[in-house]
Amino acid sequence: MTALVAALLGLEVADLPPIEDVLVLDGDDLAPGRDPHVVVIRARAPHHLVRLQRLHARYPDAAAVAVVGDDEAEVRRTLRATPGLPSDLVVVAPDADLATTVREAAERTARRRRHDALVTAVRLRTAAPPPDARPMTTTLGAALDRAPIGVLLATPTGEAIEWNARAATVLGLTDADLGLPAPRLFALADQVAEAVALAGAEEGFGHSVTTPAARRPEVVVEITAAPNDLPDGGRAVLLLLLDVTGRRAAEAARDALQTRLAVVRRSQEFLLRASEVLAQADDYADTLTQLARVAVPTLGDLCVIDVLEGGRVRRRAAEHADPAKQPLADRLRQFGPTPASSHPVAAVLRDAGARWNAHPTEAELRSFAISEAHFRLVRELDYSGYIAVPLRADGEVLGVLTVVSCGERRFGPDDVMLVEDVAARIAVVVAKARRYDREHAMSVALQQSMLTAVPDLSPWTATARYVPAAGDAQVGGDWYDAFRTPSGRPVLVVGDVVGHDLAAAAAMGQLRSALRALAWSSGVAGPADMLARLEAMATGLAVTDFATVVVALLEEADGAARVRWSSAGHPPPVVVHADGRAHLLQGDNDRVLAVAGTVPRHDHTADLPPGSTLVLYTDGLVERRDRPAAEGIARLVAEAATLAAEPVEAMCDALVARLAPHAEDDVALLAVRVPSR
């Protein structure tokens, strides 16, 4: 540091103001304090922000940190509309790293005050004795040379005269730069030149500019230009340089984090509402409609979901945030784009790239419309921007999610990122629905081929019912069957393979076919023998699915009807007498098929009086989440007794309607009536 700069500054340690540490306010009254670096207050509710206004009025130079309570969102919204608050106010949650936040705020205040102290000292220098009246100390010169703030002296026309070590480091200066126009050392040279010119003409004091350094663009400098006199009576301009790179980077990181947190918050809001939709929606189409409905207004004012189905674009949902405009959104369904059109949806389907236009022109909107009526509808909805992103799953584009802004809302990059995140989740729903459609079609075809019509078993009257579970997308393993043996005796079968998928339906088909074949084999002694041979065959063919089955063989002897049956873990059959009595058939309930065991299976016999009805069923008819099977079976017996006089068809319909109006599991029901004498 040269004597020229030291004499120009004329500073002593006593010139710097006293500095306190941190002042914490937790009440309505301002605590006494003197020049704190940081004031920390607790703002538990929006009305506590009045303290911030009083705080800023009393300590205008101090940084402020507000710790919010549970009502964080409301406090932040109120902050944006409240005047008279510190410009560098930091708002943190109670669980944030408060110590680090306060320390960083204190360091920013300290740097700013050191900067202001130097500027103030220069400004007041005219009241101090001239440099030649008081000797320059080596200590002060060394201190200025090692000062954390850069100091550069320039002529009124801007040529660099002298600088300290910090200025050389920040700006990348060498001795060869002596006399170089100082504004050229900064990226915003014109603004710096204007500040130097104003200071050189003594028009005001402390003209500030924040700019990157020209030679070190990664360094951001806050410059204050002040007028001064040289020892020889000439004029000069003093540039005080504060490196604010770290502060700017922290502010940018903070802003980016706040933006990201806002995106995450909006995404979480959508996912919370979407999870409720996925739990309550009845089917695939309803799910997409409900997801589009919860997407507004979180994502935009209008949400449209288009899905590729059979090579065509099908508009599955169009939902508006304003219920009054939903009829207009409904009309959009008739204007789905074709894959070859110029519509953004068609473009996304072709190249799988997102389309985003924050403010499309009228000509662009007209080019997207497939007709004049479509264009008029778009104008009536007041399209002002759109984001269209692919619904992509397993490397395949399944459709497009389009979010539209209407009116003053404008989309930005963060909105695109959020919509893409949401689209990825919706694509999972679409992909799952497509897989289900394929599997369900195969399962339905298989099951329908198995559940054939009940044949004529005269003189017995037989009928059957099959009811899939309400809202279940899968086909189960329940089945019924009725046929005659080679000797002409009727055989009744009701079974239930564990599971609700294609595998269960396939296992059901195998067991049903095998049992039919065994019933036609010679040497089969009865139902128990059929089940034992079926189990052995299933084991040999690696059909390991657990299943319950009841097999009943109808017989006539001496003019009386009789049933011989065997059960593999299945609910017991019910006999309904013509006089209105009903009871369960009693007997051993042997092990479920596919459960290892050596205990022989058992046949049981019971007489069937004239006009009585034998009812076989699966557990879906009697079992509920809130009702045990035993209670359901007891109710079945009671309800069947009241239907004894009804035709067997009507009896089956009534039992299903009364016991399983909204079946939670598949229901198979088979009933046969003994002829009356």
Report the CATH number at residue 426: 3.30.450.40
Residue 6 in domain: no
Tell me, yes or no, whether 617 and 668 share the same domain: yes
- Residue among 457, 548, 11 at smallest CA distance from 228: 11
Give the CATH number for residue 657.
3.60.40.10
CA gap 516, 420 in Å, rounded: 54
Tell me, yes or no, whether 61 and 177 share the same domain: no
Helical ranges in 399-543 per DSSP H: 413-450, 502-519, 527-540
Supply the pLDDT for residue 15. 36
Residue 399 in domain: yes
Which residue, of 436, 463, 481, is where some domain finishes?
Answer: 436
Residue 233 in domain: yes
CA gap 362, 600 in Å, rounded: 82
Tell me, yes or no, whether 76 and 161 share the same domain: no
Tell me, yes or no, whether 412 and 492 share the same domain: no
Mean pLDDT by 10 residues, the chain (677 residues): 37 36 56 66 70 74 76 70 70 76 79 62 43 43 73 89 89 89 93 89 73 93 85 80 86 71 66 66 74 84 90 89 93 87 90 91 90 92 94 90 89 86 84 73 66 88 85 69 91 88 78 88 84 87 84 88 94 95 92 78 94 95 86 95 95 94 86 91
**How many CB atoms are located within 10 Å of the residue 114 CB?**
18
Supply the pLDDT for residue 134. 36
CA gap 616, 64 in Å, rounded: 78
Residue 252 in domain: no
Tell me, yes or no, whether 476 and 604 share the same domain: yes
Tell me, yes or no, whether 202 and 299 share the same domain: no
Q: Is the bond leading into 459 cis (omega within 30 degrees of zero)?
A: yes
CA quadruple 477, 479, 483, 487: dihedral, nearest 10: 60
Q: Are 220 and 212 in contact (CB under 8 A)?
A: yes
Which residue, of 436, 465, 496, is where some domain finishes?
Answer: 436
CA gap 451, 465 in Å, rounded: 10
Tell me, yes or no, whether 219 and 302 share the same domain: no
CA gap 459, 563 in Å, rounded: 15
Which single residue is written with the structure tokens 């299933």?
Answer: 538
Domain holding 336, by residue range, is: 269-436
Q: Are 469 and 620 in contact (CB under 8 A)?
A: yes
Supply the pLDDT for residue 267. 65
Tell me, yes or no, whether 607 and 666 share the same domain: yes
Tell me, yes or no, whether 404 and 350 share the same domain: yes
Supply the pLDDT for residue 175. 84
Q: Are 209 and 192 in contact (CB under 8 A)?
A: yes
pTM assigned to the model: 0.45
Residue 641 in domain: yes
Instruction: Check residue 580 and give left, alpha or beta (phi > 0: left; psi -120 to 50: alpha).
Output: left
Residue 273 in domain: yes
- Looking at the structure of the chain, the number of domains it has is 4
Which residue, of 57, 85, 109, is where some domain finishes?
Answer: 109
Residue 528 in domain: yes
| 103 Cα distance to chain centroid | 36
Residue 455 in domain: yes
Tell me, yes or no, whether 474 and 425 share the same domain: no
Tell me, yes or no, whether 659 and 522 share the same domain: yes
Element (H, E) at 52: helix 49-58
Tell me, yes or no, whether 198 and 345 share the same domain: no
| 534 Cα distance to chain centroid | 50
Give the CATH number for residue 177.
3.30.450.20
